[in-house]
Structure 1
């Protein structure tokens, strides 16, 4: 008998170079070493895959749910030159057009009839119809991330790009976005009228940060603008017409790389995710049940010159994506050669969907619709999360250490509780109250966590890759 020893190694991770939602978060695309694929965002379902030989892709951008995709080559062996944008018609399964530039393409944003391309120091906009025509171009500051964002709702006009100075944002208004072509018989309802024009001329420049920008995001309507900087501690929400700062939200106190910000479709909440592996959810409206957490001393900031930290708004809900490195490896040696492509285990993309709400108290009742989150990791994880409907207002103690805290600020619930004196230091009443306090604090913490409703794998586990 051959009783030789055999090594058992962990499953090799999926190498996902890029994954993107369409503007409405109905589908998402992903590209790996084998090619690219298109998935239904929820329920998760592989719609189509394309095996591409001869190289890899760095970006696959869907134009809503149409058959048109924008491809950019990248990686160690690019399928297309990195200075080209290839128009791929998935209905016929081939390239139909291309745009060539003198330098590498850094980023793309699209909507119906439009494509904006970010280069190192400029952004170029194109009309995409039966033919492709250059519309205009604008100079920017150094933009290695390829930041730009487009409002995609019908009649929206906003294009936001970095300004010429570091930390500034330039607001450009393109011709209005056309409505989508109706499918099936014509609707009897009248078409949606365009919004009234602004009473004053929109601003064109916003001095958002003093350091380099890390993300730019707008909702589909283009009413607001969300910006983050290389510090990664604050998210600022601006009015895109007046240029005024509406809200300043604190992700944490330690430096982080914020990967993205996404507005809820009704613009009542916003989610933020970073290299800390945590998704934070903030409310953009007041009222009980969904208030962001603030310091006990925040009302005093108008009277006392306290540090800005005490006036911060913290997320009312969050979810930490499990790290792949926390899993036990059965391999005695390294799982991949040092020359292999490295995938950031906690890098992800998050989007909002509309899904039936799950009611544990009345399972027989017809479920209502609610907004949920879909998180896509670059290691092939698909998470569907529901946001807590109500969250307690947890206060922040000024005596708590302002150290490297990225998930939530410290609570002072235990410090503010009045402990009754007792003749015995170990009385039953004291232990009973302490147990209740711990239980309440644990329930409060759990209610601030997003609930994982569904977890699945995409990329290799659906027969592709």
Structure 2
């Protein structure tokens, strides 16, 4: 019976970066793989006995601990279970079971967060004890982000955000958009939140301390499904990928050092492309007053890509559900099209590198 090598490797079901964006994990119809981003190399792979599919793989930084959820046509584990995998022992050391399908999982050093369609469960990592249970609006994409003791997820109505500050035990609700939330991301210090709605035209940046709107930027005038959002390490830049096949990078006015929003721009940064239009603001439609991206990178339309900022200055790493890996560079002073530094198919690395 003839079959090709691609079938042996399995088809991609999911890709996700780890917390510091130095690694990424891929869930396939036959198991999972872990990669280093810079330089790009496969760290390890597990092709599971019986060829079981893994739809969620969440890394805990660079440790040997992963959270796995089964998926695909032949799931390795039931869809309503989260398996805690220890790769030193090559086996599961714990599991959490639910009444319905697990949509996604998030990990921090001391917390495991499990997202279902309308509920989120927060557990203590050490003893898997349930700490917190959150009700949400319908959340088919499993939106939920966790950073520095801040958890953010959809609220109880469409477009609403719920913020949990675990250190101060405070909960805050606010409206981020009029339509359904499609994507969200926290900055690494947990101070800033970026969101998009199902329209996919405007992205908003909020202060997580009080939920105030800090900045609004515009991806485009036409509707798009936002696949991922990413802050740079200092929250100076925001990257966004959509099903339109374009990655945009925006210059943010927020500053992790101080919450002073209108900080003076250094001369190396381009002023936002709206400034020369301000004198006719009253005449133009509103979308000319929200800011447009500084830099762009074009990819295949209709394919899902996720983005992160690279560890080298002004670089962006893009991963595609077709196995594509791009590293590109943007020029903060000039903007415009990004320069491609490298491109690979990470599923076929042995042949490429």
State TM-score, norm by structure 2: 0.89
The aligned residue for residue 100 of structure 2 is 103
Pairwise CA distance, 1:298: 3.0
- Asked if the contact 1:56/1:73 (under 8 Å) is kept, the reply is yes
Which has the larger strand fraction? Answer: 2
The aligned residue for residue 308 of structure 1 is 286
The aligned residue for residue 346 of structure 1 is 303
- The whole-number CA distance in structure 1 between the counterparts of 2:12 and 2:152 is 28
Q: Indicate whether 1:243 and 2:211 are aligned.
A: yes
The aligned residue for residue 117 of structure 2 is 120
- Asked if the contact 2:165/2:171 (under 8 Å) is kept, the reply is no
Pairwise CA distance, 1:346: 1.9
The aligned residue for residue 259 of structure 1 is 227
Q: Which of 325, 329, 351 in structure 2 is aligned with 1:382?
A: 325
Secondary structure of the structure 2 residue equivalent to 1:459: helix
**Cα separation, partners in 2 of 1:107 and 1:298, compared to 1, 3 Å:** farther
- Asked if the contact 2:28/2:53 (under 8 Å) is kept, the reply is yes
Q: Which of 448, 456, 461 in structure 1 is aligned with 2:336?
A: 448
- The whole-number CA distance in structure 1 between the counterparts of 2:67 and 2:210 is 33
- The whole-number CA distance in structure 2 between the counterparts of 1:463 and 1:385 is 22
Secondary structure of the structure 2 residue equivalent to 1:53: coil
Q: Which of 32, 35, 47 in structure 2 is aligned with 1:36?
A: 32
Write out per-residue CA displacement over residues 82-109 of structure 1, whole angstroms, 9 at most, x where no aligned residue.
0000000011111111000000011211
Pairwise CA distance, 1:242: 2.1
**Deviation >6 Å, runs of 4+:** 11-14
- Asked if the contact 1:203/1:242 (under 8 Å) is kept, the reply is no
State TM-score, norm by structure 1: 0.68
**Cα separation, partners in 2 of 1:202 and 1:238, compared to 1, 3 Å:** farther
Write out per-residue CA displacement over residues 287-344 of structure 1, whole angstroms, 9 at most, x where no aligned residue.
443333227433443xx37431121200010001246xxxxxxxxxxxxxxxxxxxxx
**What is the root-mean-square deviation of aligned Cα atoms in Å?**
2.2
Q: Indicate whether 1:20 and 2:20 are aligned.
A: no
Structure 1 residues not aligned, in runs of 5+: 1-8, 176-196, 324-344, 356-369, 392-446
Q: Which of 173, 179, 196 in structure 2 is aligned with 1:211?
A: 179
Secondary structure of the structure 2 residue equivalent to 1:17: strand
Q: Which of 150, 154, 161 in structure 2 is aligned with 1:162?
A: 154
- The whole-number CA distance in structure 1 between the counterparts of 2:214 and 2:283 is 21
The aligned residue for residue 76 of structure 2 is 79
Secondary structure of the structure 1 residue equivalent to 2:140: coil
The aligned residue for residue 270 of structure 2 is 290
The aligned residue for residue 417 of structure 1 is none
Pairwise CA distance, 1:15: 2.2
Q: Which has the higher contact order (CA 8 A, sep 6+)?
A: 1
The aligned residue for residue 63 of structure 1 is 60
Structure 2 residues not aligned, in runs of 5+: 254-264
- The whole-number CA distance in structure 2 between the counterparts of 1:462 and 1:174 is 44
**Cα separation, partners in 2 of 1:133 and 1:224, compared to 1, 3 Å:** same
The aligned residue for residue 150 of structure 1 is 146
- The whole-number CA distance in structure 2 between the counterparts of 1:322 and 1:211 is 27
